[in-house]
C-alpha cells in the first residue's frame, strides 16, 4: 500500500473512532496484565465474564499469591486452558513481588520474562497501560494487514515489523485498537462486511463482498434443431400414453 494510502487509511479509522479503547475490563496495570494473559486463545467477552469476581478477590500480586492456584482456577474455569493460566498468574505475581516491588515493569524485555507473557501480551500491556506506541499483532491484525495489503507477512512478527515501518508516527498510539476493532467487526474472517468498510477503496483484497445477490448464470439457448427433436419426442411419448 502506498504511503499516501496508508495515511488516508488511518485518517478514516481515526474519524470513526477518535479515542478507541480495548474491550478487556481492568482497573490497574496488574489487572490488565492478568486479563491479557487470560485472553490468550479466548475471547475478551469470556474473560470479562470471569474477571470481575476474580479481581474483587485479588487485584494485586500479593493478594493473587495469597489466593492461590486452586482458588484462581475456580474463578476462571470457564476460560480455555484455565489450569495453565492459573499457574502462570501465580508465578508471574510471585516474580513481580520478588523482582519489581509488586509493580508491572514498563519494558517489553522485562514483561516477556514473566510466565505466560509473550511478545503480543507485552505489547498490549505497554500500549494500554503505559501509552507506548506498540502494535500487538493478534489474529485480527494479522488478517487485516495481509488482506488489505497494509502489512503483509507470513508470521505475526513479520506483520508487526511491517506495521512499525509503514504506520505514520502520529497514528501509532491507537493503531493497535483501530486494526483490532476493524478486524473484529468489519473485516471478519469468513465474510468481511466490505459494503460497510470505510477503507474498501484502499484495500487490495480481490474477493470483496457486495450487497447485490450473485448474478444468475444465463441459460444457454438450445439450438433450434435440438429443440424440435425434443418437442417431437415429447409428443410421441404423449401419444403412446
Distances (CA, A) of 60 to 17, 65, 71, 89, 142: 32, 9, 15, 11, 33
Catalytic residue among 70, 120, 157, 228: 120
Distance separating alpha carbons of residues 236 and 132, to the nearest angstrom: 84
CB 136 within 8 A of CB 120: yes
What grid cell was written down for 227? 429443440
Instruction: Give the mean pLDDT of the chain.
Output: 91
Render pLDDT for 120-157 as a digit per residue (tens, 0 to 9): 999 999 999 999 999 999 999 999 999 999 999 999 99
* Of residues 160, 176, 56, the one with CA closest to residue 125: 176
pTM value is: 0.82
What is the per-residue pLDDT for 236?
A: 61
Render pLDDT for 92-111 as a digit per residue (tens, 0 to 9): 999 999 999 999 999 999 99
Render pLDDT for 169-215 as a digit per residue (tens, 0 to 9): 999 999 999 999 999 999 999 999 999 999 999 999 998 888 655 55
CB 1 within 8 A of CB 148: yes
Among residues of the chain, what percentage have pLDDT more than 90? 84
Q: Once rounded to an integer, what is the mean pLDDT over residues 11-19?
A: 96
Which domains does the chain possess?
1-213 (1.10.340.30)
Is residue 127 packed enough to be buried (19+ CB in 10 Å), middle (13-18) or exposed (0-12)? Answer: buried
What is the per-residue pLDDT for 241?
A: 45
Cell 487485516, residue located: 144
What is the per-residue pLDDT for 224?
A: 67
What is the per-residue pLDDT for 234?
A: 60
What is the per-residue pLDDT for 116?
A: 96
Catalytic status, residue 201: no
Catalytic status, residue 157: no
pLDDT band, very low/low/confident/very high, at 227 (cuts 50, 70, 90): low
Among residues of the chain, what percentage have pLDDT more than 70? 87
Selected residue with higher pLDDT from 178 and 231: 178
Distance separating alpha carbons of residues 106 and 82, to the nearest angstrom: 26
Lowest-confidence range among 85-94, 101-110, 217-226? Answer: 217-226
What is the per-residue pLDDT for 164?
A: 96
Check whether 240 has a pLDDT greater than 80: no
Check whether 158 has a pLDDT greater than 50: yes
Catalytic residue among 2, 59, 74, 138: 138
Give the up-direction half-sphere exposure of residue 151: CA atoms within 13 A in the CB hemisphere. Answer: 27
Long-range contacts of residues 24-30, Cβ cutoff 8 Å, at least 24 apart: 24/48, 25/51, 25/52, 26/51, 26/55, 27/55, 27/59, 28/59, 29/103, 29/104, 29/125, 29/129, 29/130, 30/59, 30/60, 30/61, 30/96, 30/104
What is the per-residue pLDDT for 209?
A: 86
The DSSP letter of residue 41 is: T
What is the per-residue pLDDT for 221?
A: 56
Q: Once rounded to an integer, what is the mean pLDDT over residues 214-236?
A: 62
Amino acid at each position: 500500500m502506498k504511503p499516501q494510502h496508508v495515511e488516508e487509511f488511518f485518517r478514516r479509522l481515526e474519524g470513526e473512532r477518535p479515542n478507541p479503547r480495548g474491550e478487556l475490563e481492568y482497573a490497574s496495570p496488574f489487572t490488565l496484565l492478568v486479563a491479557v494473559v487470560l485472553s490468550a486463545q479466548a475471547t475478551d467477552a469470556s474473560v470479562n465474564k470471569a474477571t470481575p469476581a476474580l479481581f474483587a478477590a485479588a487485584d494485586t500480586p500479593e493478594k493473587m499469591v495469597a489466593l492461590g492456584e486452586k482458588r484462581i482456577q475456580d474463578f476462571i474455569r470457564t476460560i480455555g486452558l484455565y489450569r495453565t493460566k492459573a499457574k502462570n498468574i501465580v508465578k508471574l505475581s510471585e516474580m513481580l513481588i520478588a523482582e519489581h516491588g509488586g509493580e508491572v515493569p514498563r519494558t517489553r524485555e522485562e514483561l516477556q520474562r514473566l510466565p505466560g507473557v509473550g511478545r503480543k501480551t507485552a505489547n498490549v500491556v505497554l500500549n494500554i497501560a503505559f501509552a507506548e506506541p506498540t502494535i500487538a499483532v493478534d489474529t485480527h491484525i494479522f488478517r487485516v494487514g495481509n488482506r488489505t495489503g497494509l502489512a503483509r507477512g507470513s508470521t505475526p512478527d513479520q506483520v508487526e515489523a511491517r506495521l512499525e515501518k509503514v504506520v505514520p508516527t502520529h497514528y501509532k498510539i491507537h493503531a493497535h485498537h483501530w486494526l483490532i476493532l476493524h478486524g473484529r467487526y468489519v473485516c471478519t474472517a469468513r465474510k468481511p462486511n466490505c459494503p460497510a468498510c470505510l477503507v474498501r477503496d484502499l484495500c487490495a483484497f480481490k474477493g470483496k463482498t457486495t450487497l447485490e445477490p450473485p448474478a444468475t448464470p444465463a441459460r444457454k439457448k438450445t439450438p433450434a434443431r435440438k429443440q424440435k427433436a425434443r418437442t417431437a419426442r415429447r409428443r410421441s411419448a404423449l401419444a403412446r400414453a
